[in-house]
Amino acid sequence: TQAWPPGPLWFLWLLLFFDILATGFFIAWPGRLGVLRPTWTKRKPLAAAAAMFGVCCLVYLPALKAFGWAWGAFFIPPFYFQLSRFGLYLVWFAAGAWLGSDDLGRGLLARDGALAQHWRWWLGACFVAYNVLWFLPMGLEAAGALTAAQRGAIWAFLWVVSCVASCFGLVALFRGAVQVRRGWMDSLARSAYLIYIVHYG
C-alpha cells in the first residue's frame, strides 16, 4: 500500500524528469532532432497517427502485461508513477518535443494542414473510439463471447486506440476549429505546469 497518494503531482514530477532527460539529450546531441523534420505530418496525419499507435502498442502493452496497474516509486517516495505507463508517457513527450522542434506551421499542428482541415472527422473518430473502448468489450463479455482475460486484452488494445484518437482529435479541434486567440487560452499556455489544478475537476 502506498504511504502517500500521488494524485496529479505524479504527472508533474514525471514531466519535469522528462524535461531533464531532454535537456541532456540536446546538450549531448545538439540539432539531432533537425535531421528528421516533422514536415511530412502536415499532409499525412493518418500516417502519423498510425505510427504513434504502433509505437504506443510496442511500449505500453508489454509493460501492462508485466506490471499491470501497479505503482512504484522512483528511488524514494513521493516520486510515484504507474509502472506500465512510464514508457507510454515518454513516447508522447518525445513526440511533442519532435513536433515542436520545427516551425509549427510546417508540421502536424499547421492550421492549413490536413489534421486541422479535417478536424470534424478526427473529433468524430475520437468519440467513436472512446465509446467502442467502453461498450464493445463489456457487451461481448456480457454476451458470453469473451472470457475476462480476453476482455482485458481487447480493452488494453482499444485503450491505446482511444488515447491516440483522443489526442489527435483534440489537437485537430483546437488547431482547426478555434481560430481566434483568447487571453485566457494564452495564459493557460504560459502556465502549462499549473494544469494539475484543473486535473482535480
For residue 180, report the phi and psi dihedrals to the nearest 5 degrees: -105, 130
Q: Which three cell numbers stand for residue 173?
A: 479541434
For residue 169, report the phi and psi dihedrals to the nearest 5 degrees: -65, -40
Per-residue pLDDT tens over the stretch 92-106: 999 998 888 778 888
Task: Single out the residue of 108, 118, 100, 96 nearest to residue 177, CA to CA.
Answer: 118
pTM for the model stands at 0.83
Cα–Cα distance, 76 to 15 (Å, whole number): 17
Per-residue pLDDT tens over the stretch 29-75: 776 665 578 888 999 999 999 999 999 999 999 999 999 988 887 76
Cα–Cα distance, 119 to 140 (Å, whole number): 31
